[in-house]
Amino acid sequence: MSIDRRTFLTATGFAAAAPTLAATTATQLRRGEPFQMLYAPHFGMFGNHAKELDDQLQFAADEGFRAWEDNGMPGRDPATQERLGKKMAALGMTMGVFVAHADFGKPTFASGQKDHADRVLADIAAAVEVGKRVNARWCTVVPGSFDRRQDADFQTANVVELLKRCCDVLERAKSDLVMVLEPLNFRDHPNLFLTRIGQAFAICRAVGSPHCKILDDLYHQQITEGNLLPNLDRAWSEIAYYQVGDNPGRNEPGTGEVNFRNIFRHLHGKGFRGVVGMEHGNAEGGKDGERKLIERYRDADRW
């Protein structure tokens, strides 16, 4: 008497057990192996597994992460910055972005006002020193709010002019630091000047410097305009850095509507070998939630 494979597996009870066993074995084999891409966690993401900053870096490296980012790095004292930079270097981890300048309430770039410009230029000069201490190549710049007293075209001209001056600061310092401009979504951050990838692309082309590129945060862009892959393809030459967070919820891949496995496959296939910042929260709390976050990245990283 013949029996097909599905009938056999169901009859023996192995059908239900086999996927679980396979998943468990795959997880055991993958744990600690380097991810295919440079996904960059941040401090606090694995805070239930490690408390001290150095230990959080160590935990992430042991789990296969090869990059890190820290928006608040400029607020840490120089000795801590240098210590963390050395720790990352010892672990073979690439330092991703820190925030060089971000103002969510004032038209720091768009207004053309001298006091705003002086503050921005001072922030970029300070970022050069932070970058040296932590071996960073990229720093985030958010060009402030929209100036409702001026026509949009004049504001764009002001933004471009000030970015050129920022590039001059970096050139004079002989720094290889790259400012990455981050368009943010209008829902979470209303009234900001920079919101769209095409807008950022036009500005970077107008500035015309290797020191001024785009940070494409796919969480923000899914909300603002969607069309993620076509937009990153069209702006490819000006994008230097990516960040991710699923929508809705702004948590790890696999918790919302975005197909990050396809996105990561696409980026890798186009030759992107830079950092992908994990700019999001944890969908679930505690050690179990942190472990699930890692496994969701393993799943998204498998293509």
Confidence of residue 222 (pLDDT cuts 50, 70, 90): very high
Torsion of CA 130, 131, 133, 134, to 10 degrees: 110
- Cα separations in angstroms, 160 against 65, 138, 176, 228, 277: 36, 19, 20, 25, 26
6 lies in a domain?
no
Give the catalytic positions in this structure. 182, 279
In a domain, 3, yes or no: no
If we measure between CA atoms, which residue out of 189, 174, 264, 175 comes closest to residue 221?
189
The yes-or-no verdict on residue 171 having pLDDT over 50 is: yes
Q: Which domain holds residue 151?
A: 41-300
Within-domain flag for 112? yes
pLDDT tens for residues 250-286?
Answer: 999 999 999 999 999 999 999 999 999 999 999 999 9
Predicted local distance difference test score (pLDDT) of residue 233: 98
Instruction: Say how many domains are in the chain.
Output: 1
Q: Are 32 and 19 in contact (CB under 8 A)?
A: no
**Residue 204 contacts residue 214 (beta carbons within 8 Å):** yes
For tokens 């296939």, what's the residue?
A: 269
Predicted pLDDT at 122 = 98
In sequence order, which residues have a C-beta less than 8 Å from that of residue 149 and are 6 or more positions away?
A: none
> Would you say 207 and 167 are in contact if contact means Cβ atoms under 8 Å apart?
yes
pLDDT of residue 30: 67
CATH number at residue 157: 3.20.20.150
| pLDDT(28) > 70 | no
pLDDT computed for residue 31 by the predictor: 75
Specify the pTM: 0.90
In a domain, residue 12? The reply is: no
pLDDT, mean of residues 89-109? 98
Q: In this structure, is residue 9 part of a structural domain?
A: no
For 286, counting Cβ atoms within 10 Å of its Cβ (0-12 exposed, 13-18 middle, 19+ buried), the class is: exposed
Percent composition of the chain: helix, strand, coil (DSSP 3-state, to 5): 50, 15, 40
